Amino acid sequence: MVTIKSKKEIELMKEACKVVAIMYKEIEEKIKPGMSTYEVDQIAESIIRKQGAIPAEKGYNAGIRGIPPYPASICISINDEVIHGIPSKNKIIKEGDIVSIDTVALKNGFNGDAARTFMIGNVSKEAKRLVEVTKQAFYEGIKYAKPGYRIGDISHCIGEYVHSQGYSVVREFQGHGIGKQMHEDPGIPNYGKAGRGIRLEPGMTLAIEPMVIQGKPGILELDDGWTIITEDGSLSAHYENTILITEKEPEILTKI
């Protein structure tokens, strides 16, 4: 069931989303070649907790899929890792890498969710273009995040834009509603037919997240039960914000 947030709930949710926005601002200033993804995770958790929030991904999905709960505060995926990469002391960030980070902060009983792909030092032109197209796909999609449009209009727009740029979208994972739960209805694929799905209404909060692959759309899951990689070894990028459907233009909650 899709939840419509009250004005009070929206104000509480904005605080959780602000935590995520602040975390990304600080991570952008600190992330650099030579750091382990474990170090980045520790920095992120410290920032989240200092703001009175909880890293909601830590311990997520405990026992549900028959695998260990997610062990870290953020997901960090490098180059051909699409999503859900597990931070490690042995995974070192290098010059030219693209590093996708996905974060959920829980505060006041509400979640804020966003993802960014950081370009480390001098990246290739191909990698830079992929990151830029992935970010723009989000902004193309939210042109339809207004009352009267349907979820399928957002999905269709994202998929068509990505394909027009010569890239593929991940079909097995999608955006979602968000609020008191990290994942709520509706599901928001990054492809599909326009005019399908529920009609958007003010008070809906959605996490829209294009996941884009440079090559073919196939993906694989690693033995850790979490990390998703591209099947052909090509690069992948991720961009996400939590947004609020208003009477007019959508409001991006996870940006300062």
**pLDDT for residue 198 is more than 80:** yes
Q: Token pair of 202, please?
A: 């003010």
The predicted model gives 185-191 an average pLDDT of 98
Q: Token pair of 57, please?
A: 């991904």
How buried is 80 (Cβ within 10 angstroms: 0-12 exposed, 13-18 middle, 19+ buried)? buried
Residues 6+ apart with CB under 8 A from 14: 253
- Scan for tokens 């033995």, then name that residue: 223
**pLDDT for residue 4 is more than 70:** yes
d(CA 17, CA 53): 10
**pLDDT for residue 65 is more than 70:** no
Q: Does domain 7-249 have CATH number 3.90.230.10?
A: yes
The CB density around residue 220, as the number of other CB atoms within 10 Å, is 12
- β-bridge pairing 251-252 and 205-208: unpaired
Closest CA to 111 of 32, 183, 44: 183
**pLDDT for residue 63 is more than 60:** no
Q: Token pair of 115, please?
A: 């993802």
**pLDDT for residue 64 is more than 80:** no
Work out the angle between the directed axes of helices 125-141 and 151-164 (0-180°, nearest 10): 160
| pLDDT per position as a tens digit, 136-149 | 999 999 999 999 99
- β-bridge pairing 241-244 and 251-252: antiparallel
The predicted model gives 185-201 an average pLDDT of 97
What pLDDT is attached to residue 67?
Answer: 77
Strand partners, 20: none
Question: Are 245 and 253 a contacting pair, CB within 8 Å?
Answer: no
Ranges of beta strands (E only) in 85-134 are 98-107, 110-119
The predicted model gives 163-184 an average pLDDT of 98
- β-bridge pairing 168-169 and 211-213: antiparallel
Helix (H) or strand (E) holding 78: strand 75-78
Domain positions in the chain: 7-249
What pLDDT is attached to residue 62?
Answer: 56
What pLDDT is attached to residue 68?
Answer: 83
Strand partners, 63: none
Ranges of beta strands (E only) in 163-250 are 168-169, 175-177, 184-188, 205-208, 211-213, 219-221, 228-230, 236-238, 241-244
The predicted model gives 176-180 an average pLDDT of 98
Decide: pTM greater than 0.85: yes
> For the chain, what is the mean pLDDT?
96
The predicted model gives 222-243 an average pLDDT of 97
**pLDDT for residue 256 is more than 90:** no
Band (185; pLDDT cuts 50, 70, 90)? very high
| pLDDT per position as a tens digit, 66-122 | 778 999 999 999 999 999 999 999 999 999 999 999 999 999 999 999 999 999 999
